[in-house]
Amino acid sequence: MSESKSPCGSEALAEAVRTLHTGGLVAYPTEAVYGIGCDPADDTSLARLLALKRRPAGKGLILIAADVGQLGTWMGELPTDVRERMLKSWPGPVTWIVPPGPAVTPLLRGDHDGVAVRVTDHPLAAALCRAFGGPVVSTSANTSGEPPARDLATLRAQFGTGIDYYLDGPLGGRDRPSQIRDALTGAILRH
């Protein structure tokens, strides 16, 4: 287990990316809480993340990206008006459930027909996605059913060496996790 010494430092970001590329789990700040992420294409890492959180696999996971282009093979086809509605909310705190693209595995989707995606407006989370070269899994840093961590001390006390790298940085100042909406219907699934 290691931890970055300086928020947003290039060395810390490079270490977080190395951790992701080698199948590790990384904790990082998001808009409202700390998140835990991994490479969404690595089913072993996904299974490890779900086990660490004690999160049922059927719930699915969220992907965050620095820009919509990073979500290319992760999203299926969308009607133009639906895509435009999503793009108007990004970057920002709205997660959309969309038809899955060919890159989406059952561990990402869970028991759902769609996959959850967001273009983050958190500078460090976006920088992590850019440096990684694609989307990163983003799930709140908590054991399932417990409040999410809002600081590294709480996070470290809860997960210790279960997380391979702790990327230090400020949260985005929001008081709650992202809103979740169904892209095809526009319905709000989580406020």
Average pLDDT of the chain to the nearest whole number? 92
- The pLDDT value recorded for residue 6 is 40
When pLDDT is cut at 50, 70 and 90, the band that residue 147 belongs to is: confident
Question: Where do the domains of the chain lie, and which CATH numbers do they carry?
Answer: 2-171 (3.90.870.10)
Q: How many whole angstroms separate alpha carbon 97 and alpha carbon 27?
A: 23
When pLDDT is cut at 50, 70 and 90, the band that residue 127 belongs to is: very high
Phi, psi (degrees; rounded to nearest 5) at 37: -135, 165
User: Of 65, 56, 29, 51, which is closest to residue 137 (Cα–Cα)?
Assistant: 65
- The pLDDT value recorded for residue 4 is 44
Taking only the tens place, the pLDDT of each residue in 21-55 is: 999 999 999 999 999 999 999 999 999 999 999 99
When pLDDT is cut at 50, 70 and 90, the band that residue 8 belongs to is: low
